[in-house]
Amino acid sequence: MKLRHIEVFHAVYVTGSVSAAARLLNVSQPAVTNLLKHAEDLLGFALFERVRGRMVATADADALFDQAQDIQVQVYQFRETARNIRRGQASALRISTVPALGMELLPRAVTEFLATREGIAIELHTIHHDDIALKLHERETDLVICYSAPRNAPVTSVILGEAQMHAFYAEKDMPAAPDPLPLASLDNRRYISTGDSGPQGRALATELAARDIAPDVVGASRTFSIAAALASSGLGMTIVDEHTALAMIRAGMAMRRLDPAQKYQIRAVHIENRPPPSVAIEFLDFLRDRIASL
């Protein structure tokens, strides 16, 4: 079977009709019918049965679909990579960052960096930790500013600085809280968990479990800014990264370091054996100095 046969099979399987598949592929219905029949002739068995006007997949088609889906994903990724290579030849420096660092740290750093440099443009996007390797591999971004490099991926990372997690809470709930705040203070306290937010969230959850500290979990979020917003709305306290806490602090809210300190690194990640352009190196030096000054 050729790639076009697989594409037609996938489209009919997903849409359930020849007409819908034709619209999806932007071809005529007879073209879809002919390609599908040719595919069945090559395979030697039927892929669909027509039942009350719909194309119902056979058991053999069901067995083939997962592999057809994988091929479609690979073709899409190939096209995306080609598109990004084409765009990257004359486009801005493309930087991605995790949502927490994209709230204030990176926007301010980009603005200050560009203020003294003409003829340079920077695209800034947010990215989730689990997507870092894929977006770099597809050349959708040149650099990722994050907390840790993905494991078992062909990437290189450099340390830009260090910060630490902070408790974020309504000041009235702990008006005389010390700084740093003992982790034990979280025990039985209304708490918005960030245990699934990424490396720091998982590390904190492990630390709490190891110390037998059991907050009263009343909410959860995979995004630090959402957890901080829930805390600001009065749901309970939470623990977020330093940069989210600084961006979200307002009257009536408080932030405290933790004891023991829950430190984390800020890193720049790029594809291995594909060094970032010189302007990216210049920006990373600038960002490193800015993080050190906070």
User: Which of 40, 58, 86 is the last residue in one of the domains?
Assistant: 86
In a domain, 76, yes or no: yes
Q: Which of 18-22, 80-84, 184-188, 288-292 has the lowest mean pLDDT?
A: 80-84
- How many domains are contained in the chain? 3
Q: What is the pLDDT of residues 185-209, one digit of tens each?
A: 999 999 999 988 778 888 899 999 9
Q: What is the CATH number of the domain that holds 249?
A: 3.40.190.10
E strand map for 9-117 = 48-51, 54-57, 93-97
Omega before 180 within 30 of 0, i.e. cis? yes
- How does pLDDT run across 123-150, given as a tens digit for each residue? 899 998 889 998 898 888 889 999 999 8
Q: Tell whether the model's pLDDT for residue 90 goes beyond 50.
A: no
Residue type, 159: I
Asked whether residue 152 is domain-assigned, the answer is no
> What confidence category does residue 84 fall into, taking pLDDT thresholds of 50, 70 and 90?
low
Domain assignment present for residue 119? The answer is yes
Does this model's pTM top 0.75? My answer is no
Residue 157 lies inside a defined structural domain of this protein: no
Do 73 and 95 share a domain, yes or no? no
**137 and 101 together in one domain:** yes
End-to-end C-alpha distance for the chain, whole angstroms: 59
Residues 195 and 251 reside in one and the same domain: yes
Provide the total of helices (H) and of strands (E) in the chain, helices listed first: 10, 13
Q: Closest by alpha carbon to 140, among 78, 91, 80, 90?
A: 80
Q: Residue 24 belongs to a domain with what CATH number?
A: 1.10.10.10
Q: How large a percentage of the chain has pLDDT more than 90? A: 70
- Strands, DSSP E only, in 11-141? 48-51, 54-57, 93-97, 122-126
In terms of domains, do 105 and 142 share one? Answer: yes
d(CA 280, CA 123) in angstroms, rounded, equals 12
- The answer to whether residue 153 sits within a structural domain is no
Range of the domain at 189: 166-261
